[in-house]
């Protein structure tokens, strides 16, 4: 197990290193840089002014030197200066991370808390009206773009309650924050919950046809005990894998949700930074996301061991 962990950590480090090269090169392959954009935003394309800005931002230096400077800084915890705001990148990124993290966790919580129990109910009550209803709802969850759903929620809220649940002021206190983030989290988590529900249902149906479930029933175990203690635990393995993948996909979903609900999180900020070719922001944020995804994948692999004692990671 020890050497497995060492191998995993080395692999994670290698993945992140590869990501850093990929993002650095890809950003520079996209046409236009911040100097182009700054002069373009002013409606001019003055070569002299552009060269002056490029020099000021160090864009005229060799690409390897720029990469070395970024990675060197990153290893020291120095993320550099944001090109657009001209402030330290860490000051721009840090306040936004908790907002998106809370939103992601709430969305994930929402998708699990709805997806798993409804998936079990749907499987247990297979081919009943309840099963059909849940399947239709889950299908709609997969089909509705969260952008559209978000707007629909806002419109309904304005129409019926005369208020709009968007993030205009920093919430005062935990409860207000939960209230502000709950609706966008539900919107972004709706799709994931639908996916988790469908997967739980099919996985449960498969498990419930196994011999050991029949044995448990014949031994007089209650329905609840059979469904949740025997079947669900075994049905959860593929679900956990999907939850791990969904956690990464949620970041993609956050971009539109943060835009529609006007949440000043990382995802919306990242899109804006890409638009402005704000390399220090984009590079560091993508690295952060890559780190989170790699870590979640690692945690999912660890969760397998807890859920299925037969799984052992050999040295």
Partner 1 sequence: MRSRVAFAAGTLAAFVLAAAPAFAQKQGGTLKISHRDNPPSASIHEEATISVVQPFMAAFNNLVMFDPNEKINSPDKIVPDLAESWSWSPDQTKLTFKLRSGVKWHDGKPFSAKDVKCTWDALIGQEEKSELIRKNPRKVWYSNLKDVTVGSDTEVTFVLGRPQPSFLSMLAAGYSPVYACHANGRDMRSKPIGTGPFKVVDFKRNESIKLVRNPDYWKKGRPYLDAIDWKIVPNRSTRTLGFVAGEFDMTFDSDVTFPMLKDVKAQKPDAVCEARPTNVNANILINRDAPPFDKPEVRRALVLAIDQKPFNDILFEGHALYGAAMLPPPAGFWGMPKEMLETLPGFGTDIAKNRAEARAIMEKLGYTKDKPLKIKVATRNIAIYRDPAVILIDQLKAINIDAELDPIDTTVWYNKIQRKDYSVGMNLTGGGVDDPDTAFYENFHSSSDRNYTAYKNPEVDALIEKQSAELDRDKRKKIVWEIEKKLAEDGARPVINHNVANTCWTPQLKGLVLQQNSIYNGWRFEDVWLDR
Binding range to partner 1, per CB under 8 A, among 34-42, 113-121, 184-192, 229-237: 34-42
Q: Give how many residues touch partner 1 by CB under 8 A.
A: 45
Cα–Cα distance list, 97 to 31, 110, 214, 265, 268 (Å): 28, 20, 48, 7, 11
What whole-number distance in Å separates Cα of residue 63 and Cα of residue 41?
25
Q: Smallest distance, Å, CB 52 to partner 1?
A: 7
Of 262, 298, 300, 304, which one interacts with partner 1 (CB under 8 A)?
Answer: 262
Cβ neighbours of residue 300 closer than 8 Å, sequence gap 6 or more: 240, 241, 243, 244
What whole-number distance in Å separates Cα of residue 193 and Cα of residue 137?
10
- The number of angstroms, rounded, from the C-alpha of 269 to the middle of its chain's C-alpha atoms is 14
What whole-number distance in Å separates Cα of residue 120 and Cα of residue 231?
9
β partners of residue 88:
81
Of 268, 280, 286, 290, which one interacts with partner 1 (CB under 8 A)?
Answer: 268
What whole-number distance in Å separates Cα of residue 107 and Cα of residue 53?
41
Q: Smallest distance, Å, CB 175 to partner 1?
A: 20
Q: Smallest distance, Å, CB 274 to partner 1?
A: 10
β partners of residue 81:
88
Q: Smallest distance, Å, CB 267 to partner 1?
A: 11
Site string for partner 1, 89-128 (x = CB under 8 A): ---x------------------------------------
Site string for partner 1, 142-181 (x = CB under 8 A): ---------x--xx-xxx--xxx-x-x-------------
Of 19, 38, 213, 255, which one interacts with partner 1 (CB under 8 A)?
Answer: 38
Pseudo-torsion of CA 189, 192, 193, 195, nearest 10°? 160
Where does this chain bind partner 1 (CB under 8 A)?
31-32, 36-46, 49, 52-53, 56, 82, 84-87, 92, 151, 154-155, 157-159, 162-164, 166, 168, 259-262, 264, 268-269, 272, 275-277
């Amino acid at each position: 197990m020890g050497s497995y962990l060492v191998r995993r950590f080395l692999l994670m480090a290698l993945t992140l290193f590869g990501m850093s090269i990929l993002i650095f090169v890809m950003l520079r392959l996209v046409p236009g840089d911040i100097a182009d954009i700054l002069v373009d935003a002013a409606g001019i394309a003055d070569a002299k002014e552009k060269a002056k800005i490029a020099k000021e931002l160090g864009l005229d230096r060799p690409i390897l030197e720029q990469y070395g400077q970024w990675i060197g800084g990153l290893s020291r915890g120095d993320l550099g200066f944001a090109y657009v705001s001209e402030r330290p990148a860490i000051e721009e990124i840090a306040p936004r991370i908790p907002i998106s993290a809370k939103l992601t966790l709430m969305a994930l919580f929402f998708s699990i808390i709805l997806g798993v129990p409804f998936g079990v109910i749907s499987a247990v009550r297979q081919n009943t009206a309840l099963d059909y209803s849940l399947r239709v709802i889950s299908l709609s969850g997969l089909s509705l773009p969260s952008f559209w759903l978000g707007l629909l929620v806002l419109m309904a809220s304005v129409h019926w309650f005369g208020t709009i649940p968007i993030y205009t002021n920093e919430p005062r206190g935990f409860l207000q924050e939960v209230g502000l983030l709950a609706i966008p989290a539900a919107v972004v988590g709706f799709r994931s919950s639908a996916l988790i529900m469908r997967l739980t249902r099919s996985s449960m149906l498969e498990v419930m046809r196994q011999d050991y479930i029949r044995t448990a029933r014949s031994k007089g175990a209650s329905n609840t005990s059979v469904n949740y203690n025997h079947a669900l635990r075994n049905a959860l393995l593929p679900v956990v894998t999907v939850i791990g993948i969904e956690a990464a996909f949620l970041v993609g979903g956050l971009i539109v949700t943060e835009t529609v609900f006007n949440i000043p999180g990382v995802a919306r900020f990242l899109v804006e930074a890409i638009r402005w070719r704000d390399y220090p922001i984009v590079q560091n944020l993508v690295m952060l996301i890559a780190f989170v995804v790699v870590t979640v994948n690692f945690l999912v692999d660890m969760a397998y061991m807890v859920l299925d004692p037969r799984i052992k990671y050999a040295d």
